[in-house]
Structure 1
Amino acid sequence: MRERIWDMGARPAIPAKQRDGPVACPKWAYRCRHLVKNLWARLKECRAVATRYEKTAMSFLAVIHIAAAADWIKP
């Protein structure tokens, strides 16, 4: 998986296992990783996002946008 991420031109923020060699991962990226995980957890509270009822990628992206907007507005 790391090789695919590198091939796409991105840098992985996945910590290395002890049996693997060290990976050049910026510390700020690894520290901020929980923000992305928390966002997906909140988005999955919306049933349409969690179960993916939409058939096309475009309509699924629209549901994600609606769920993110609702999450942003929520007090």
Structure 2
Amino acid sequence: VFDYDRYSRNDVVGSVRVVLDELELDSSSSSIEIWGEIAGEKKPPEEIQEVLVSLSYLPSAERLTVLILKARNLFPTQ
């Protein structure tokens, strides 16, 4: 989660975890709002892994498409 600054660099506020298989997708809605507690981030910005995703749900096929649009600072798992 980042704060948005129009004239300066966006800063990391923390992170929110979303478990995709626990989402209740409703075929009558084209969007879903997700709320979560922000966990504070203790790592310096250069050590934070970032992934920008796009989610699209097709109710008629009951299909959720997850696109990874951008990723940076990804580290191999230990």
Give the TM-score normalised by structure 2: 0.23
Instruction: Determine which structure has more spread, i.e. the larger CA radius of gyration.
Output: 1
- Higher relative contact order, structure no. (Cα contacts within 8 Å, ≥ 6 residues apart): 2
Give the TM-score normalised by structure 1: 0.24
The structure richer in helix per residue is 1
